[in-house]
Structure 1
């Protein structure tokens, strides 16, 4: 098995803003993959609930929001499959390539005019493809640095900025195409973006990434492969049988399915944490780090439960509650999906520079997480104000309230997301590197699974109650994390 030092030595360590040359490859691969995903996501909700005469599918808004939340949860939940296959079968490099192919197929299906059945088919390919690509490309970033490399957090911040450059441009471009030629033309642009990402990856990976991601860290024996194949076949057969029975009995509804996904979103990370902790392949020091990771994971779930509503509740809010006229100029509700990445592009270099300048004086990872929750709570507290000023939702509100809410959430995201990616690669047990990164993305899966229920609550309570209660939850959990941060830091065994 290759050691971390062997992998790091094989990667050219200079060549991209003072970082390993492979960061160029991964930066632009993720740029185009996120361009395709966020561009598609920016118009997908509206495609589902706009009426047929406006090119949509005509679903009701609550159902469309629930489907979006389920979709987001499954996208991140599938990272467990991608992480497992990368760790045990073909390594992270091949996982990224196969994932890109499946994502492109999914976007092509969305570009074809069709019914809800074709929509769900495209979602299947994008879910599996993102599971293979998303967590594993981040793992390769971590492989290029030693654990002691002071550039590591800054490298992840630069990588994160690349993700958000794609996410910023795609809603603006795809909205123009959609407005001119319809939803399916917009989805075709997303397919083209993923194709460009694959080209960048294939052309530059061998030269820039060295040995990173070429060998699975915990490969299966032939006997294990045979056993896993049998289990996989049985699992697929059981799932198909359950779906057929549920469909025949009329219990296969969006509401029931959302409850299943919410349960899985909480149950799966619990099982994985238990499995990693109890595994004989996890050393005593690694067990302590796994325990330290659990409260960070819980904090991340709470944060993303608020931040990920940008594609559901806040997207619907932009379309139905915001005055879209700025003087004589009309803005598109799709453009609000570019706010999050735009603010990250502007602020990420400042945060990367700040972490580099602070060096050993950096706040600990737990403290950064607690600060992130304070900003998440503040972003929802801000949305209480227009709810109080608009007579319970009877009048349209200024778009600047939504802009301010996105801005506060982004500050929290920069305190949590790139830092969490970096901490995950350092806290992961050696035998479970890919799967631990998948667990990090399961925080978003769990949050979206919870949101599948929250979007239903939003339909029956006031805006003031909804935003105020969720904001308060975030702040309370942030206070708890801040209080126990010294205990978490000690359990991290030297990882900062």
Structure 2
């Protein structure tokens, strides 16, 4: 296997043309914009679609189960990034993997757009899970390919890319959410499918001119013998799993609750296994092993952060619909609109953070310290949710500004952690596992939502104070611990900041 020359790949990309960044950032920015429009538009109404009664156009699932299913769906979306990373690293390269992933996502939304049964709903979820797994880690990996390892624009570029993600995420609840709540959930899902189609068009039309060799390289390709053996094993394994699952479901053993528990366990076991495989691989050098060790506390911190952030689309979504005053001066707010708060604040603040990291240069906080700030602000976002119930009890409706404040605080934490985490992952990744390490980054969210599938069951209006207080307090304590040990983590990074 020929070592990947990152400088040569970056040199093949036009280095100016998009706000002082490589022109390829334009292609990836708008592809991800439309993909996130489709994903977050669908997600803004997904939990309501599941637990609203059939007479209201929903599936009529119990609310507690619907919240857990939403968390498990989110976990599987990011867990499937393992598949996407492996396919890119061993077979297709990142660019082609992104395109095929987008096609699967679009078809998943099309299935949701057609009125159907719970079985059709499950089919759509499988398509979206697999498609997002192919697309999401690899498009971020291509962003890393646009820059040399020492390019100081790198963190700023990821922040701009992250702003594109959130522009799509901001618009989609307002468009898809409004249509879904006012007219038809299925019509809303149809708009999500159109969004993914537009993303595919942008990517196909501009990638040749703007991306150069970025994402086209297969870093660790299968040999012909490995390909035959691997595909045979995958086919047999998939058939066995499907047969066992079908039989257990027919016998009433494989229930939704058991499936949720299995995925929750896998959400923790899979990333742990991933670390061990990469660390023990002969293709991982001594320096890369040290960097992987540094990555472990960052992974744990990110997992705790996303466990809080991702509850914005489950616990806080239900809170918006049932505990929040939505009629303000005769104007009726839609519960799904609160899902636009997170991306709205990111769009507003991301340029400030991008400018700040460039302005500080080598004086900016280390990666691990930025992560600690992210954890602390995430904890504060839950702590503030204690006050409405403490002041007015749980029987009266809450002023919507409490939700606004909670989303604002978690966004400050997100901008300290998420784009920085994307950038750090591309720099700490072993060369032979570049795309798969990006998949590992997205497993932080998979693990978080796997935990949430169990945790969200403890939320009830009468347990609000304890629920928000324990989770928020734990995040703050972990953030302070991470800040304290950050110098040791930095030494393990072997020169990477």
Q: TM-score range by the shorter chain?
A: over 0.9
Name the counterpart of 2:400: 399
Q: 1 CA distance for matches of 2:179 and 2:445?
A: 29
For residues 480 and 183 of structure 2, the distance between their equivalents in structure 1, rounded to whole angstroms, comes to: 49
Contact 1:87 1:219 in 2 (8 A): yes
- 1:297 equivalenced with 2:277 (yes/no): no
List, as ranges, runs of 4+ consecutive aligned residues in structure 1 with deviation greater than 3 Å. none
1:390 and 1:54 map into 2 onto residues whose CA distance is 31
Residue of structure 2 in register with 1:369 after alignment: 371
1:62–1:459 CA contact under 8 A, matched in 2: no
**Which residue does the alignment assign to 1:329?**
331
Q: Deviations over 1:52-83 (max 9, x none)?
A: 11111111110110110010000000000000
In structure 2, what is the Cα distance between the partners aligned to 1:240 and 1:468? 41
Structure 1's unaligned 5+ residue stretches are: none
Any residues of structure 2 matched to 1:60-459 within 5 Å, and which? Answer: 60-391=62-393, 393-459=394-460
**TM-score, normalised relative to structure 1:** 0.99
CA-based RMSD of the aligned residues comes to 1.0
Q: Which residue of 2 aligns with 1:54?
A: 56
- Per-residue CA deviation, residues 252-306 of structure 1 (Å, 9 max, x unaligned), is 2222111101110000000000000000000000000000000000000000000
Q: How many residues align?
A: 495
Q: Does structure 1 residue 6 correspond to structure 2 residue 13? A: no
Show CA shifts across 1:332-380 (max 9, x none): 0010000000000000000000000000001000000001100000000
Q: Contact 2:109 / 2:190 at 8 angstroms: preserved in 1?
A: yes
User: Which one is further off, 458-467 or 290-299?
Assistant: 458-467
1:471 aligned residue: 472
Deviation at 1:251, TM superposition (A): 2.0
Residue in 2 that maps onto 1:21: 23
- Segments of 5+ residues of structure 2 without an aligned counterpart are none
Contact 2:312/2:339 (8 A) holds in 1:
yes
Deviations 1:180-230 (A, max 9, x none): 531111110000000000000000000000011112111111111112112
How far does residue 325 in structure 1 lie from its aligned partner after superposition?
A: 1.2
Query: How far off its partner does 1:460 sit?
Result: 8.7
CA distance 1:245–1:309, shift in 2 (3 Å): same
8 Å CA contact 2:45–2:181 kept in 1: the answer is no
Structure 2 match to 1:33: 35
Deviations 1:9-53 (A, max 9, x none): 100000000000000000000000000000000011101111111
Paired residue secondary structure (2:93) = helix
TM-score relative to the length of structure 2: 0.98
Give the Å deviation of 1:326.
1.1
Aligned to 1:462, the other structure's residue is in SS state helix
C-alpha deviation, 1:461, in angstroms: 6.2
Q: 1:488 aligns to what?
A: 489
Q: Distance in 2 between matches of 1:460 and 1:358?
A: 44
